[in-house]
């Protein structure tokens, strides 16, 4: 299990990095934490099971692993998981099969 820190409230990678820097340095000014950008874990398009970032097919049902969209391809706004269309610009968010 990972940490319970909810990073979704941070708007950008920079603000996440700032927050992390403060945590790991104990508030030391000027400290910059290096954050490894994690790939979004893919999900099986058949059974919905989550997998490893490099996994291509589901180990449970053989379905294709697809990476959930996190930002609209049209306007780059963050999107809500499960949405079919962007609430900002109407761009279709259907996963490639």
Q: Which residues bind Zn ion (CB under 5 A)?
A: 44, 46-47, 49, 58, 60-61, 63, 72, 74-75, 86, 88-89, 91
For 44, the token pair is: 């099986």
CB contact at 8 A, 68 and 56 = no
List % helix, strand, coil for the chain (3-state, nearest 5): 15, 10, 70
Shortest distance, position 88 Cβ to Zn ion, whole Å: 4
Q: How far is the CB of 44 from Zn ion (least distance, A)?
A: 3
Taking the least distance from each CB to Zn ion, the nearer of 20 and 58 is 58
Shortest Cβ 40–Zn ion spacing (Å):
17
């Amino acid at each position: 299990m990972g940490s319970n820190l909810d990073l979704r409230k941070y708007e950008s990678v920079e603000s996440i990095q700032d927050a992390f820097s403060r945590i790991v340095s104990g508030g030391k000014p000027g400290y910059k934490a290096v954050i490894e950008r994690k790939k979004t874990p893919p999900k099986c398009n058949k059974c919905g099971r989550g997998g490893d970032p490099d996994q291509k097919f589901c180990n449970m049902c053989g379905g294709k692993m697809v990476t959930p969209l996190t930002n609209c391809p049209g306007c780059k706004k963050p999107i809500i998981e499960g949405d079919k269309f962007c609430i900002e610009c109407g761009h279709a968010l259907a996963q490639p099969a």
